[in-house]
């Protein structure tokens, strides 16, 4: 095949061929799409170590896309970097320089490290989220008769927050809870004007993926929050928010997806209350 000539074309080709790739190639594809700035500046050996795959697989991956070697593919990422915003690692380094490096392993030190990385993730998300996608998602939530929510494993706290806030805003919600094994059957009760909000990160919960695929096949609108445009819940989504999960040392934080979920509900409150200046989320204790 003819090798893609720019970064945008490369990403499009990766998406088109992703389902046909081997497991190792899919892992490389995920890393490339989630960490484009790192791909531009690190050697193939360093990237392979971070990805947990042998460097020769990166070379063969590039050749499978029509390049002579990985260097040629990497050139597309380097050209993109010349006009791109700072990457996650660059942000972390800048914040560490501003706040001072942690020299100990105290309890406070762990807190500091998490805060630094969360700030970097939030900054990156702010630049990556499409304002039109936010507006479309809020419109779908506003128009929905019932909002179905699903998120398991690490994603569960995000949908729990959504259920609470949406309920307090007067929206009818159904949490597709895995207990009892009824989530799939509950999803089949969705009506034409309902919407599904699905939250899933690696490693994607099988039941969540299956429900998303079934709901999409029936033509229902889906708002997906995931970690990549290559996520299995991305394909059928009317709106996808890809919040990349970067390399981590001891924790994967939910700060960015929780902030995104809260922003959707605040924007929805502004519409429902016709108040863009000071929308309020009611609380149980305030009733």
Report how far Cα 217 is from the mean position of its chain's Cα atoms: 22
pLDDT of residue 128: 83
pLDDT bucket at 115, cuts 50 / 70 / 90: confident
pLDDT bucket at 27, cuts 50 / 70 / 90: very high
Q: State whether the Cα torsion 79-90-57-15 is positive or negative.
A: negative
pTM to 2 decimal places: 0.79
87 pLDDT more than 60: no
Average pLDDT in the 229-246 region?
Answer: 87
262 pLDDT more than 80: yes
Instruction: Give the C-alpha separation, 282 to 170, whole Å.
Output: 10
Closest CA to 200 of 219, 223, 180: 223
pLDDT of residue 111: 82
1 pLDDT more than 80: no
């Amino acid at each position: 095949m003819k090798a893609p000539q720019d970064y945008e074309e490369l990403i499009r080709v990766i998406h088109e061929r992703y389902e046909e790739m081997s497991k190792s190639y899919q892992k490389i594809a995920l890393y490339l799409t989630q960490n484009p700035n790192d791909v531009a500046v690190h050697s193939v050996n360093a990237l392979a170590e971070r990805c947990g795959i042998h460097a020769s697989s990166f070379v063969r991956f590039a050749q499978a896309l029509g390049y002579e070697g990985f260097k040629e593919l990497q050139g597309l990422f380097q050209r993109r970097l010349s006009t791109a915003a700072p990457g996650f690692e660059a942000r972390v380094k800048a914040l560490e320089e501003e706040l001072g490096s942690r020299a100990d392993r105290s309890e406070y030190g762990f807190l500091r490290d998490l805060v630094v990385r969360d700030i970097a993730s939030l900054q990156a998300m702010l630049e990556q989220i499409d304002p039109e996608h936010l507006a479309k998602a809020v419109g779908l939530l506003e128009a929905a008769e019932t909002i179905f929510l699903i998120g398991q494993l690490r994603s569960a706290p995000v949908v729990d927050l959504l259920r609470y806030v949406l309920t307090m805003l007067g929206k009818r919600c159904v949490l597709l809870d895995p207990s009892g094994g009824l989530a799939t059957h509950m999803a089949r009760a969705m009506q034409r004007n309902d919407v599904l909000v699905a939250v899933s990160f690696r490693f994607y919960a099988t039941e969540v993926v299956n429900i998303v695929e079934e709901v999409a096949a029936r033509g229902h609108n889906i708002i997906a929050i995931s970690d990549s445009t290559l996520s299995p819940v991305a394909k059928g989504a009317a709106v996808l928010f890809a919040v990349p999960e970067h390399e981590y040392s001891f924790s994967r934080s939910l700060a960015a997806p929780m902030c995104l979920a809260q922003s959707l509900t605040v924007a929805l409150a502004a519409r429902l209350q016709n108040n863009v200046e000071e929308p309020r989320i009611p609380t149980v204790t305030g009733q």
